[in-house]
Structure 1
Amino acid sequence: MHFFFEKKSQIVNHHGDSINPDFAEWIRDYVSNFSENILVIIFILGLLIFLIMYVFILYFSRKK
């Protein structure tokens, strides 16, 4: 006889909906098929876009 109930853990995102594990596995497999060079280029482009937007925000928010 069990006196304690086991609570099943479920992965939940910040909206409260459970994450579909099949979709997460599909995303992981899809991204892992990219070559390392493409992933590095995507990362560098994202970083450059972020830095350029940061400079534009600083430039346009300065006091005249």
Structure 2
Amino acid sequence: MHHPVQPGLHPAHPREGGFLVRVYVDLGQVPEDDNGNIRKTPVEEIIRRGNAIFAPYSFDVLEV
């Protein structure tokens, strides 16, 4: 289980070669009657939330 280091952010996980990281962005509480709609969250919204969490820093997304 991961504990967020900041609200909405889970620890970054190093990837191949030490140049990449995998970041998990918490999208908040999912209602029980969501029926998987959370999975329709646009990639742009996930990136926006991730950058808001990292502010004043930002990151470039190479692959989703």
Same fold (TM over 0.5): no
TM-score (normalised: structure 2): 0.30
- Whichever structure has more helix as a proportion of its residues is 1
Structure with the greater relative contact order (CA < 8 A, sep ≥ 6): 1 or 2?
2
